Amino acid sequence: MSERLQPGDQAPAFTLPDADGNEVSLSDHKGRKVIVYFYPAALTPGCTKQACDFTDNLELLAGAGYDVIGISPDKPEKLARFRETESLKVTLLADPDKKTLDAYGAFGEKKNYGRTYMGVIRSTVVVDEDGKVERALYNVRATGHVAKIIKDLGI
């Protein structure tokens, strides 16, 4: 399990396939702020709620200068199905080998009903225009999280 990111850290670079198989890099967003959120699995109730919340607030976030990228260990085909099924507008990226999840501290030990296992830690990292971590939030809740980010960022 990697270290969790702290404000001021350089955000780890990544290049991952989107739902259509096109490569998307963090560096493509240089000069804009980016909200990178990590979620366990497409087409599950909590992850759907979170992705729909980001989609519903995308205009507001974009107007304030933020791009939104969601990353999960799902394959691009599943992300495409997720996007179509839920009419999502956020950029969804596939990280099946979990290298980016690990680099951001969003993959590690979890506990559920007394069981310990390795999995995706629902997390959100706000990256500034220069590629530095502005905020790093871990173990966030799927419901109400987007509203909290908007409030915390003063949007």
Tally Cβ neighbours within 10 Å of residue 80: 18
The structure tokens listed for 67 are 């791009």
Residue 47 bears catalytic tag? yes
For the cut 90, the answer to whether the pLDDT of residue 154 exceeds it is: yes
Split at pLDDT 50, 70, 90, the class of 111 is confident
> Please, which residues have CB within 8 angstroms of residue 91's CB and are 6 or more apart in sequence?
18, 24, 67, 68, 69, 70
For the cut 70, the answer to whether the pLDDT of residue 2 exceeds it is: no
For the cut 90, the answer to whether the pLDDT of residue 110 exceeds it is: no
- Choosing from 47, 51, 80, 149, which is the catalytic residue? 47
**DSSP state string for the chain:** -PPPP-TTSBPPP-EEEBTTS-EEEGGGGTTSEEEEEE-S-TTSHHHHHHHHHHHHTHHHHHHTTEEEEEEESS-HHHHHHHHHHHT--SEEEE-TT-HHHHHTT-EEEEEETTEEEEEEPPEEEEE-TTSBEEEEEES--SSSHHHHHHHHTT-
Q: How far apart are CA 133 and CA 112, in angstroms?
A: 29
Model confidence, pTM: 0.95
The structure tokens listed for 69 are 């990228």
Tell me whether strands 23-25 and 115-120 are parallel, antiparallel or unpaired.
unpaired
pLDDT digits (tens, 9 = 90+) for 80-99: 999 999 999 999 999 999 99
